[in-house]
Structure 1
């Protein structure tokens, strides 16, 4: 699964790399395939009668496993948690755990609303984040993909949305915004002046 995410990120970078004005940061490095551990066979497995676990609220999740064996799960509303056994989890964004404005108060960014203001302005001031995803590329850094949509009074997302990426040397951040890589929902005059490129097979 992680390999698929890495391939997706590399593919997106390759396609979008030719669309810029040359001022964007480029990520270089060799991405190596993860080494999977061989399966273990157990002849008579038994489980304790009382299984204990902890619960954390992280919906729309993506999971990444660090080299030290720690798992991180990232999801909507900037909720994220960690575990060493996939059973006992620690919520790492207190605002998400308390149903507060977790996106505006996330520890993952120094000031999320001002750092991603271009996207927030694009969707009419709606601060939030759906289904965040974090990957580690060959340069050893962590890339945080964030997105959100316009949310009118009806409470339903509309087609006006954005996708951006931020980077950090540490999985816990703080992440530095690299900018938007995709916006949708262009209307009227916003469509003029765009040089649309046709992808060829």
Structure 2
């Protein structure tokens, strides 16, 4: 496909004879999600207006809440429909991919939501801003921050994320078409610094930081940038078709505005590099032993950062029911070399252990039987996991850096993180790992014996 695909889940197919009431959805129908935590410890999830069983029943950015990031309660929409300026510009029926951020202002705490308004296959799009005193609302629209037109602009004004770097604010955005861009935001107003007038849309697209060639339908979207431990930035993006081949890749940069490069040094803006290998794949379609469902096309990820942990929040489809989608949460870990990797196990709430000082520090504890997936394999199919036995010989040369970090140099380099996890299939606590191997390949797995 050669266009942004957010509209597909919002109006997917004819209405079923009996459609589930939204109050029963839980995690279902959460598409392009982002999560925040309020000052009382309650989590709020914001996502695209979507109903996999038929046409939209409401619009305005779906909202859910949770106390554990495992069980979600649907509570309605943030706004009453598509705000007038965005609706008039883009003709959108619903809102896509909201990003919500807590901002300190001279007047106190303000929550800002950057939402997208567009339609399938069109670059006539808008990123709007709404504000509230609390994630539960009430939300008030402030207008359009970035706007594009299909016949005029090469880029697409959707999929926004606000990046806060000290006193400076920035917005990364984009989907398919002309790639991903970043521009500076006025912290006081929430609008672009280069806006020609207060409350007006940005006057330029900003700096290009990632794109893909037409040979792969320019399929890149859903950018999310997080700071790297020790300095620099990591870019998390989704590649390919959300219907069946969607998956998550990462790249890093010293400067927020790039250049972003993958593990092998390929720049994310290089149209001559091989588009099938550029970017480090960290999550894709897979099936674990004994799991009820195979994970299909996971992507459009955000990161929830809390004291002592970071979590990747994303949607996924399922091999058995590819039209259905829901939110999933996974632990995000950083290797000794500063690369973000993702657990193959979903987040288990209170069963998880966050104290990194207790994570494995002894190489000998890594020996045993592991169930693994290999993210370097093609993403066109749901990959079945496989088992490997790790003997003490295989651990030769590994250097322990503490807090679950292990590396090895030489002809078979390794940059790995080993951490506690909850095995959802077997219902027990175990170890999980994520590791970068030779030539920028990533393995992830669970210890099973």
Q: Could you report, residue by residue, the CA deviation over 1:109-132 in whole angstroms, capped at 9, with x for unpaired residues?
A: 2x434xx21111112x32211111
Aligned residue number for residue 80 of structure 1: 63
Distance 1:90 1:197 in 2: 39
Q: Is the CA contact (8 Å cut-off) linking 1:56 and 1:89 kept in structure 2?
A: no
Distance 1:79 1:179, change over 3 A: same
Q: Is the CA contact (8 Å cut-off) linking 2:38 and 2:135 kept in structure 1?
A: no
> Are residues 1:181 and 2:166 paired?
no
Aligned residue number for residue 68 of structure 1: 40
> Are residues 1:146 and 2:139 paired?
no
Structure 1 moving runs of 4+ over 2 Å: 54-57, 194-201
Distance 1:70 1:127, change over 3 A: same
Aligned residue number for residue 126 of structure 2: 162
Q: Is the CA contact (8 Å cut-off) linking 1:56 and 1:90 kept in structure 2?
A: no
Deviation at 1:138, TM superposition (A): 0.9
> Are residues 1:135 and 2:91 paired?
no
Aligned residue number for residue 29 of structure 2: 57
Distance 1:197 1:179, change over 3 A: closer
Distance 2:205 2:122 in 1: 26
**The structure with more helix, counted as a fraction of residues:** 1
Aligned residue number for residue 89 of structure 2: 122
Distance 1:135 1:76 in 2: 16
Deviation at 1:67, TM superposition (A): 2.2
Distance 1:198 1:121 in 2: 21
Q: Is the CA contact (8 Å cut-off) linking 2:131 and 2:141 kept in structure 1?
A: yes
Distance 1:198 1:67, change over 3 A: closer
The answer for unaligned runs of 5 or more in structure 2 is 1-25, 50-60, 153-194, 197-202, 208-256, 258-449
Distance 1:198 1:118 in 2: 19
Distance 1:160 1:83, change over 3 A: same
Instruction: Determine helix, strand or coil for the equivalent of 1:138.
Output: strand
Deviation at 1:147, TM superposition (A): 0.8
Q: Is the CA contact (8 Å cut-off) linking 1:56 and 1:81 kept in structure 2?
A: no
Distance 1:198 1:163 in 2: 12
TM-score norm. by structure 1 comes to 0.53
Deviation at 1:187, TM superposition (A): 3.8
Distance 1:56 1:198 in 2: 34
Structure ID, larger Rg: 2
Deviation at 1:198, TM superposition (A): 9.5
Q: Is the CA contact (8 Å cut-off) linking 2:63 and 2:75 kept in structure 1?
A: yes
Distance 2:66 2:46 in 1: 12
The answer for unaligned runs of 5 or more in structure 1 is 1-53, 94-105, 189-193
**The structure with more strand, counted as a fraction of residues:** 2
TM-score norm. by structure 2 comes to 0.25
Distance 2:86 2:71 in 1: 35
Q: Is the CA contact (8 Å cut-off) linking 2:131 and 2:142 kept in structure 1?
A: yes
Distance 1:198 1:88, change over 3 A: closer
Distance 2:36 2:128 in 1: 19
